[in-house]
Each structure stands twice: as C-alpha cells, then as structure tokens.
Amino acid sequence: MPRAEKGSAKAIANKVKSKGLQKLKWFCQMCNKQCRDQNGFKCHLTSESHQRQLLLFAENQNSYLREFSREFESSFMRILRHQFGSKRIRANEVYQEVIKDKGHIHMNSTVWHTLTGFILYLGSSGKCKIDQGEKGWYIQYIDQEEELRRNKIVQRAKKEKDEEDRNNDLLERQINRALEKEKETGVEDEEPVQRDLIRENDDEKIKISLAPRSLVKPENEKVELKATKVFETADEKGSSNSMKRPSSSKSEASSSKKSALDKIMEEEERYKERKNRKDYWLHEGIIVKVVTKKLGSEYYKAKGEIVELVDKYTAKVDVDGDILKLDQGHLETVIPAVGKDMLIVNGGYRGTKAILLEIKERDYCLLLKLKEGLKHGREVTVAYEDASKLA
C-alpha cells in the first residue's frame, strides 16, 4: 500500500496514531520498531530485516539481555532519584514515568518479566527499600553517596575519639610517672612551721623588709627583699615580735615538681578547649529559653526542650506542646537550681553531663561536677552560656 500523501486526512490520522504509547506486545526491541496492530507486527516478524536481527541475537543472547536490562535499570533509577528523591512512592508511578519516553527500553526485552520481579531485585540488591501495601509495591531510593558520607563522618568521629583517649592516657601516664618520681626522691610538700611571736621590747617598732621583684631575674637566683615598711602597734604597750620567713631547699624542689604537674594539666585543658570549642552549641534533650520577640509575647522568654536538631545552628523546640523551629541566636541556655543535672554544651567538656554545685554570680560562671567520662568526679568551672539544664 502506498504511503498517504502529506497533508491528507489519512496522513494526519496516521500521525495522530503514532503519538503516545502503543501496546507493548507489538514492539520489537531488537529492531526498535513499534507496530500499531497485530497484523503489522506479524508482517514485521516475517520481514528480512527482523530475521537478520534474530540471527545476531541467537549468537549471543545473554549479552543482549544483560545490555537491555542494564539500560532499563539505569533509566528507572535515574527517574526515581531525580524526580522522587528518597520519598516512599508507588513503584507503578515510577514505571509510568519511565514508559512516557517512546525510546525507552521495554521490560519484555530484559531479564525481568514483570514489574514485581524487578522491584524485588532492587530490594534484594540493597539499592532501594521496598514494602508491599494495599495499592501494590512501594519503593524508596537509598542515596548511596549520603550513606558513604555518613559512614565517613562516623569513622572520623571515632578516629578523633580514639586519638583523644590516647592523649588522655598519655597524660595520665605522665602524671603517674611524675608522682612516682616525687615519691622516690622523697620530696614532699612541707607545711609552714608555726612559731610563737616573742616580745623582746615593748617600745620597739616592728619592721618588716619587703623587696620588689626585679624586672630581669637570673635563673636559680633568689629574689632579695629590699623595700621596708614600718607597722606601728595600736597599743603602746604592745610587744615587738620577731617574724622569720621559712625557706628550705625541699619546699622549693616540691614547688617545682608541682608546677610541672600543673603545666601538664593546663596543657591538657587547653587542648580540650581548643578542640571542642565550636560556634554552635545546640544539643537534643536540653532546656532552652526563647529570647526573640518575633514570635509574640506568648513565646517570649518561654522555656522548652530541644527535641530535634535540623542542622548545627537550627533546632525544633517543644514549648508547651508547640513545636517551634528556631535558630540558636534566638535561644539561650537555662540554669537550674543547685544540685540539678546539666549538660555542658560547649568548651573542653562539650557533651558531658554534670551536676551543678554552685552559681558564681560575680564571675558569671558555674561550678560543675562531671558525672561521666575519664574525668568523672572532677570539678570544673564553665561560663553561663556553656552549660544548660537537662530535660
């Protein structure tokens, strides 16, 4: 039959029919040809071009099936990832998006005979999460890159924690060695000896010689006391007393040992502070106060619990049953009564639970006793904004 003339009613009807999807059973994937009816498909099967394609397919049919299956899976996963993301969606809806393209790889040319078989394959291979509901199979894309990033973050945090534990163990060993060496040398702190004040002459004034520190002091040289102050007794019949300043080589050696230990501990505190001091402090499970007026007087200065962290600087706060999404700039920490539990949210002991021992209002800081970790039982001082009440 000759081709209909361009612009004729027959040509227009044929063009309309060619648009949209045709029946899958009348499509030949090897020849990439879509037939409109049973008669046309039968004629195609007996054609010489189709017979040549069948001979090629018969030589290596597994290779063709693998190639068609790979292309179909690739297009399906691309649409699922780009259009639906990680949402839970019906598998048939994704399949309808795939077959909208007339040039797509048809399922009858793959190793999967049904959509259910293909969905079960995605679930067993770990590429998607699948479950069956009343309306059929549901599918959810698993972002492998996000999983890798999450695993890297967990591994990095574990590595940093192991390094911190090793540093703490090293510092503990250094302190123990210093203490053992101090015991071996027999150098211990000596208590200052109390001596009675002896009155020599009732009319004599008491003179105490004090010396200012020199700007440049040679090593291992004692500072001389040069300045003199005179203190008169309130009672003329008071007594003059001779006061002696205790000094010994043992106490000096002990102070030097103590300063070495203090230096190690101070270095440890500086290291922890430098490592754990961040510009964000939000944690789940703490009580915070709303300090922004943009939400109205109902929520201004209201207290609530952080139930979820959206990111490092944003959290969802439960205020009397209302869930508010707030930035950390609109929140501040809450100080409970003495004896209550708190969480250190920033600084050297970030993330550690502690008990509030004292509120130092003059210095705007808190005295806390650690409840967990290697320094359990240690008393530390933190600023108001570095600790908050636990829910």
Tell me the domain boundaries of the chain. Answer: 20-144, 151-179+257-276, 279-389
Q: Report the pLDDT value the prediction gives residue 2, as an integer from 0 to 100.
A: 66
Q: How far lies 18's CA from each of 49, 107, 165, in Å?
A: 21, 20, 71
- What per-residue confidence (pLDDT) applies to 204? 62
CA dihedral 25, 30, 31, 35 (to 10 degrees): 0
- Cα end-to-end distance, the chain, whole Å: 84
Q: What is the pLDDT of residue 338?
A: 92
**What φ, ψ does residue 336 adopt, rounded to 5°?**
-85, -170
Radius of gyration of the CA atoms of the chain, in A = 41
Q: Residue written as tokens 């300045």?
A: 227
Query: Which residues, 6 or more positions from 209, have their beta carbon under 8 angstroms from its beta carbon?
Result: 225, 226, 227, 228
Between the CA of residue 245 and those of 193, 196, 199, 223, 310, what are the distances in Å? 10, 13, 17, 13, 63
Instruction: Determine the Cα–Cα distance for residues 280 and 282; give it in Å rounded to an integer.
Output: 6
From CA 90, how far away is CA 73, in angstroms rounded? Answer: 16
Bridge partner residues of 155 (DSSP): none
Alpha carbon 389 to chain centroid, angstroms: 21
Domain 279-389 belongs in CATH node 3.40.250.10: no
Into which CATH architecture does domain 20-144 fall? Orthogonal Bundle (1.10)
Helix (H, G, I), strand (E, B) or coil at 318: strand
The answer to whether 342 and 388 have CB atoms below 8 angstroms apart is: yes
Residue 170 CA to residue 204 CA, distance in Å, equals 59
What letter does residue 30 receive in the DSSP assignment? T
Give the pLDDT means over successive 10-residue stretches in the chain (391 positions): 73 64 68 76 81 75 81 89 86 87 76 88 88 89 77 80 80 83 66 58 62 48 39 41 44 52 76 83 93 85 91 89 88 92 90 92 90 84 92 86
Structure tokens at 247: 């000094």
Instruction: Give the pLDDT confidence score for residue 376 in this predicted structure.
Output: 84
Helix (H, G, I), strand (E, B) or coil at 290: strand
